[in-house]
Amino acid sequence: MKSIGARITVFYAITTTAILACLFVAGHYLLESYLIHQLDEINEAQFKHLKATLGPDYRTLTPSTVDDRIREATESASSLFYVDMHGPMTNRFFKSHNLQGHSIPDLVGQHTYSIDVDRIGELRVSEFLLPPFEVMVGTPLAPVYDLLAGYRKVFFGLLAAMLVASIVIGYVLSKLILRPVRVIQATANRIRSDNLNERIPVAEVKDEISQLARLLNQMFDRLETSFDEIRRFSADASHELKTPLSLVRLHAERLMINSDLDASQKESVQVQLEELARVGQIIDELLFLSRADARAITIDLVEQRPEAFLHGFEQDARVLAEHHGVKFVCDHRGEGTVAVDNKRIRQVLLNLLVNALNVSPPGGVINLESLLSDGVWRLSLVDDGPGLTPEQCEQIFERFVRLNPAGKDPHGSGLGLAISRSIVKLHKGDIRATSSDVGRGLRIVIELPAGNAIAWPAATI
């Protein structure tokens, strides 16, 4: 069982049920001992009654006289007592009629014992000395066993009820005990690199769980400090690098224009300019991400119908796709308007399109499906590439992650999708990737809030 709550419930149910079972077993043993002891006392009381009935001259009595004196006393309690009285050499002086002619066996060396008598059943026998006689008084054990059988029935019924009740109680207790742990889990799941300022609530009670919450909060404090330092370093380093890189680029361009260079030297300078442009782009992207993390970027939201925006993007996308030998298809459904920053959303779609073009083979098809329905503008871009694993679908939105198919250009910075995610979050939207529902290729879905979108029946994107 992986669940701690389930283990607590099972442990509690087994423990309480086992304890109750032990108590019932001990109770059964004690009750049986007590009842048998009471039978011994009853037998002793009957013997005293018989002794008093015989009188002080019992030594001189003949068997017939003994029979006459105690017959009435024994017959009145024949359902409860069995009496067997004999003298020296085992001569019988008296037997109660309920013995049906049988004798009560005498176990040598034992004065109280249980024994089974033919056609009578099990008796609890007490042997008393009344010199020169030995008097054996027996009492049926059947009522005791009937009582113990009823006790066992009650025991098993209560044990089953206790098992059910303990499972319910254990489940409720596990929920109550683990409630702080669930709060810690839910809060820890919400704390990510873009939300490091949230902390786990700590109860006033100073127990192990509150101590764990304090330790986790201290760890999150250290993580937040580390992330802030990294972000400041990225922002500062990016800002400081822009000026020297610009100067290097200017000198390289001047050298390219004004110097008398041969072909190989010009090619080297050209490569330097291209790499400088690439480094400059990476710096700009890092600056954007740092500003986005610091919430220093504002977006210009404009309420508009998405058809016009998609029409302009589709024209540019078709040109790019044709250049790569790929077909681009765009389809929009739904009525209403949405508030977005055209420049930023266009940047997101271009990033996704460039990635799709890099993985799609010549002759492939890239589909952009748009649906405006139920307060959501959902954009879904599907490429014709090899697709990704579920783990890779989670990784691609992290910084500097590049999953380039064999034979493709590896010069991407690995920041495009991270920037796209930041822009979508600035719009209070969500972006995700999946390959599970497209067979071949990758689907990237963007969902943006649209306050007045009309419900559309074909919401299948």
The enclosing domain of 17 has a CATH number of 3.30.450
Is 158 within a domain?
no
Distance of CA 174 to the CA centre of its chain: 12
pLDDT tens, residue by residue, 358-373: 888 999 999 999 999 8
> Residue 209: exposed, middle, or buried by beta-carbon count in 10 A (0-12, 13-18, 19+)?
middle
In a domain, 164, yes or no: no
Same domain, 235 and 99: no
The reply to whether 21 falls in a domain is yes
Q: Which domain holds residue 89?
A: 4-147
- CATH number of 314's domain: 3.30.565.10
Number of domain units in the chain: 3
Beta bridge partners of 447: 378, 430
**Residue 434 main-chain phi, psi, to 5 deg:** -155, 150
Q: Give a yes or no: residue 190 inside a domain.
A: no
Domain boundary among 147, 177, 201: 147
Report the candidate in 117, 144, 130, 121 with the shortest Cα–Cα distance to residue 40.
Answer: 144
pLDDT at 407: 46
Residues 342 and 431 both lie in one domain: yes
130 φ, ψ (degrees, to nearest 5): -135, 75
How many Cβ atoms from other residues are within 10 Å of residue 46's Cβ? 23
Residues 44 and 116 in one domain: yes
Do residues 103 and 93 make contact, with C-beta atoms less than 8 angstroms apart?
A: no
Query: Has residue 454 been placed in a domain?
Result: no
Instruction: Please indicate, yes or no, whether residues 392 and 265 belong to a single structural domain of this protein.
Output: no
Residue 312, domain member (yes or no)? yes
Asked if 377 and 306 sit in the same domain, the reply is: yes
- Whether cis (ω within 30° of 0) applies to the bond prior to 457 is no
Last residue of a domain, one of 147, 172, 188: 147
The per-residue pLDDT for 123 is 93
Contact 127, 44 (CB under 8 A): no
Q: Are residues 308 and 424 in the same domain?
A: yes
Give the least confident one: 110-124, 236-250, 265-279, 322-336.
Answer: 236-250
pLDDT interval class at 266 (50, 70, 90): confident
At residue 137, what are phi and psi to the nearest 5 degrees?
Answer: -115, 125
pLDDT of residue 458: 47
In angstroms, the CA 15 to CA 7 distance is 12
Co-location of 243 and 348 in the same domain = no
**Residue 460 maps to a domain:** no
Same domain? For 240 and 326 the reply is no
Q: Are residues 21 and 136 in the same domain?
A: yes
> Which pTM was predicted?
0.50
In the predicted model, is pLDDT for residue 264 greater than 90? no
**Interatomic CA distance for residues 130 and 85, integer angstroms:** 10
pLDDT at 459: 44
Distance from C-alpha of 2 to C-alpha of 24, rounded to nearest angstrom: 33
For 11-48, write each residue's pLDDT tens digit. Answer: 999 999 999 999 999 999 999 999 999 999 999 998 99
Residue 260: CATH number of its domain:
1.10.287
Assess whether 326 and 289 both reside in one domain: no
**At which of 293, 316, 333 does a domain end?**
293
Residue 271 lies in a domain: yes
Q: What is the pLDDT of residue 260?
A: 76
Strands 327-333 and 365-373: parallel
> Which CA distances in Å does 314 have to 304, 331, 431, 439?
17, 10, 20, 25
Confidence (pLDDT) at 405: 53
How remote is the C-alpha of 212 from its chain's centroid? Answer: 19
Tell whether 281 and 313 lie within a shared domain: no
On whether both 15 and 142 belong to a single domain, the answer is yes
What integer best gives the mean pLDDT of the chain?
Answer: 84
Per-residue pLDDT of 270-328, as tens digits, reads: 888 888 887 877 777 777 777 776 666 778 888 988 998 999 999 999 999 999 999 99
Short-list 357, 361, 377, 355, CA closest to 428: 377
Q: What is the pLDDT of residue 440?
A: 73
